Amino acid sequence: MTGTPEYTEAICQHCEGAGCVYCDKKGKVLVKSPARKCRHCGGECCIYCGYTGWEDVKGKYD
């Protein structure tokens, strides 16, 4: 086992860093490293990525 996964900051694709409800107004979200675009929407934002555009977003689903 490798222990806890590493997370990295990624610019929220919904607001492109401006801050919105999906990223808690930070403009960034923590995603599992290496950051990958959501496989469902390719970064266009959908329910699977919590509208952040990223795969494996930390937080809401933990």
Residues that bind Zn ion in the complex, under the rule CB under 5 A:
12, 14-15, 20, 22-23, 38, 40-41, 46, 48-49
The SS3 assignment for 37 reads strand
Judged by CB, which is closer to Zn ion: 2, or 14? 14
Minimum distance between the CB of residue 31 and Zn ion, rounded to whole angstroms? 12
Nearest distance, CB of residue 2 and Zn ion, angstroms: 26
CB atoms within 10 A of CB 20: 16
Contact 26, 19 (CB under 8 A): yes
Q: How far is the CB of 56 from Zn ion (least distance, A)?
A: 11
Is the CB of residue 20 less than 8 Å from the CB of residue 52? no
